[in-house]
Amino acid sequence: VQIPSLLRVGFVFRPDFRWRDEGVRKVLQLMGPAVIAASAVQVNVLINSIFASYLQDGAVSWLNIAFRLMQLPLGIFGVAVATVTLPLVSRSAAAGNMPEFRGALAHALRLVMLLTIPSAIGLIILAEPIIALIYEHGRFTAVATQQTAAALRFYALGLVGYSAVKVLAPAFYALDRRNLPMIVSLFSIALNFGLNWFLSFRLGLGHKGLALSTSLIAVINFVLLYVMMRRYAGRLETRALFVTLGKLLLAGVCLGAVCWAGLHVFFRAGIPDSEWHKLMGVMTTVAVGGLIFFGVAYLLRVAELRDLVGVVKRKLSL
């Protein structure tokens, strides 16, 4: 798809299979640790499925569905912010401009929190009606909805950590510290085994323990990478990060209250049979909750939100 555009700017593509080429070797050296680091999440999901197969029937399906739902905001927000941030931090690192590098990375982390904290709160409180709306048909019973919702709530606890790792890990490649995310990922895989056993079997949390283990691993991953990044890049505006986090948690309390009220207004007697009722209940609650959250965040002067509003205003004025 991109070849016509490349041809217009003078790029001519010629297949070349010389594996000893210096550029190819450099790419392979960089790709190996990156692939291992990126695959840790999927490996942990596979480990969870193996553990879940020793639990009650349906546990594997409940976990898989819940994880897919958690991946939606992760893919929309976490991956998007990481994709936009990587060129900025790479350019800054290549130029040796560490203040700009730190500023771009810190801004990206705060932006990720702005977008994923409300997503996590919404998934935790509205897990059951959301799953009922999408999946509760045919053989997918109300019991399956409840069990999947329980797993989704625990997965959502790690959403912010997951998304922050998506932003932090590529920044190490920009600093040519490509092995560090890989080492942390390998450590997380080993730790996941122990946490899965302890939470699911020792504490008796079942499939919910597997989801909780995954979230704890995501948070631990983020903390380790953040500490390492501070060591190699210097201060990452940690105070501003905590100030923003406090403001967003306050706005999140307001969002949680709206979601809780929506549950009692639309789903007081349980999940209705009417698909239209489910849809209207979920959409109305999400819309009102989103307005309240971002409204409170704006009043609290969350800089990243004001930047987004400014960008939207400029786009609309064009």
299 within some domain: no
Cα angle 251, 254, 260; round to 5 = 140
Mean pLDDT of the chain: 88
Range of the domain at 154: 23-237
**Does 258 reside within a domain?**
no
Residue 186 makes CB contacts below 8 A (sequence gap 6+) with 36, 40
120 alpha-carbon distance from chain centroid: 9
Question: Is 183 part of any domain?
Answer: yes
Angle between helix 22-52 and helix 159-174 axes, rounded to 10 deg? 160
The pTM of the full predicted model, rounded to 2 decimals, is 0.86
> Where does the pLDDT of residue 316 fall: very low under 50, low under 70, confident under 90, or very high at 90 and above?
low
Summarised one tens digit per residue, pLDDT across range 222-275 is 999 999 998 888 888 889 999 999 999 999 999 999 999 998 888 776 666 677
pLDDT in tens, 128-176: 999 999 988 888 888 999 999 999 999 999 999 999 999 998 898 888 8
Average pLDDT, stretch 84-97?
A: 88
Q: How many domains does the chain have?
A: 1
Chain CA centroid to CA 136, Å: 25
Give a yes or no: residue 116 inside a domain.
Answer: yes
| pLDDT tops 60 at residue 296 | yes
> Could you tell me the CA-to-CA distances from 130 to 60, 70, 72, 163, 193 in Å, in that order?
19, 12, 13, 21, 30
Please check whether residue 306 lies inside any domain of the structure. Answer: no
pLDDT on residue 250: 96
In a domain? residue 115 = yes
pLDDT digits (tens, 9 = 90+) for 174-215: 888 888 888 999 999 999 999 999 999 999 899 999 999 999
